[in-house]
Chains A and B, each alone.
Chain A
Amino acid sequence: AQSVTQLGSHVSVSEGALVLLRCNYSSSVPPYLFWYVQYPNQGLQLLLKYTSAATLVKGINGFEAEFKKSETSFHLTKPSAHMSDAAEYFCAVSVPKTQGGSEKLVFGKGTKLTVNP
């Protein structure tokens, strides 16, 4: 079964510091991976997605993620944290249904990012 594991439920960084949020996946087929961000009392917003076109994926707000098959990882990074990056981040894998053309997203437990001034 396809799944994702996010290491660290809470990450705290200083403003201007590197942001690194970890995600490892488990999949028997080439995975389609996503990172979403959720601000308080809001829905989820897509940051970036990996669909096998390129291993380094650039997203919105300066975030990027690198797909490493050998490590089964898809970690999210941002060179310099901003106060507005404080939110919860979710890694997800797309799981297709074997029949019916449907799919669902399976999410990690999330990582809450705190940015200190």
Chain B
Amino acid sequence: KAGVTQTPRYLIKTRGQQVTLSCSPISGHRSVSWYQQTPGQGLQFLFEYFSETQRNKGNFPGRFSGRQFSNSRSEMNVSTLELGDSALYLCASSLPGIHTEAFFGQGTRLTVV
């Protein structure tokens, strides 16, 4: 069974640009969540999607957005990149239901220069 796939693995962008990250969940998983990991702030929840609807959102500015497609694949977009957006972005998928296990991808390492 294939795991959660995130592409690309590494990205280098310039301040002011925008970026789109992709996440393909495990087959059958309809819930997809995104997390940002930085040395200073640790792991922080960005948002969660289920059946193409955003159900939950963390405390991030509106520059951070996402969407989910009918096949459960998800993308997140960051516009007007800032140096502080440099981070490892992790996607997790899970089966429907609460307290189910979240399976994480390997992440996308974004560097903003």
Contact = CB atoms under 8 A, between A and B. Distances in A.
Given A43-B90, A104-B48, A94 B58 contact: no
B99 A102 contact: no
Contacts of B101: 46, 49
A100 interface: yes
A96 to B, nearest CB: 6
Size class of the A contact interface (CB-based, 8 Å): 20 to 34
B90 A44 contact: yes
A104 B33 contact: yes
Interface stretch (B60-68, B75-83, B102-110): B102-110
Contact of A100 (B4, B33, B43, B55): B55
A5 to B, nearest CB: 12
Nearest to B97: A101
Majority DSSP secondary structure for residues of B touching A:
strand
Interface stretch (A17-25, A78-86, A105-113): A105-113
Interface residues of B, number: 25
Contacts of B109: 41
A101 B107 contact: no
Interface of A: 32, 36, 41-46, 49, 51, 90, 92, 94, 96-97, 100-110
24 contacts: A41-B109, A42-B107, A43-B4, A43-B107, A44-B104, A45-B104, A46-B101, A49-B99, A90-B43, A92-B43, A100-B55, A100-B56, A101-B50, A101-B55, A101-B98, A103-B48, A103-B98, A105-B35, A105-B43, A105-B45, A106-B45, A107-B43, A108-B42, A110-B43
